[in-house]
Amino acid sequence: MENPETSHAYTRDSAPAFSAQKLEYIYEAVFRQSTQQPGFYYEDMGSHMTSSAFRQRMVELKEGLTAVSQRRANLRLNYQWMGRFSHQHTSQFHRDSAHPHSFLMLGYEPTAVDSRVYVADFSKLIEQHGIPLATYFGGSQEVNVAAEAPSIAPYVTELTPFPKDHYRLLVLNNSKSFQKPTFGMFHRGEVQQKQSAEDRIINSIMLYMANPEEEEQHTQQDISNFVNTQQVNR
Average pLDDT over residues 160-176: 98
For 59-71, how does the pLDDT look when each residue is reduced to its tens digit (9 = 90+)? 999 999 999 999 9
Asked if 46 and 167 count as a contact pair (C-beta separation under 8 A), the reply is yes
| Domain 13-213+220-227 top-level CATH class | alpha beta
What are the C-alpha distances in Å from 27 to residues 13, 20, 234? 17, 11, 32
Residue 116, pLDDT above cutoff 80: yes
Q: Where are the domains of the chain?
A: 13-213+220-227
Strands 168-173 and 201-210: unpaired
Say whether pLDDT at 3 is over 50. no
- Among 54-58, 139-143, 160-164, name the one with the lowest average pLDDT: 139-143
Phi, psi of 148 (to 5 degrees): -165, 130
Q: b/e per residue, 6-18, with b = 16+ CB within 10 A?
A: ebeebbbeeeeeb
Give the rounded distance of the alpha carbon of 188 from its chain centre: 11
Report the alpha-carbon distance of residue 167 to residue 184 in Å, rounded.
24
**CA 37 to CA 186: how far, in whole Å?**
15
Q: How confident is the model at residue 148 (pLDDT cuts 50, 70, 90)?
A: confident
pLDDT at residue 5 is higher than 70: no
* Cα separation, 119 vs 96, whole angstroms: 13
How would you class 25 by CB atoms within 10 Å of its CB: exposed for 0-12, middle for 13-18, buried for 19 or more? middle
Model pTM? 0.91
Q: Are 121 and 174 in contact (CB under 8 A)?
A: no
**Residues 12-52: pLDDT tens digits?**
444 446 999 999 999 999 999 999 999 999 999 999 999 99
List, in sequence order, every residue forming a beta bridge with 233; answer none if it has no partner.
85
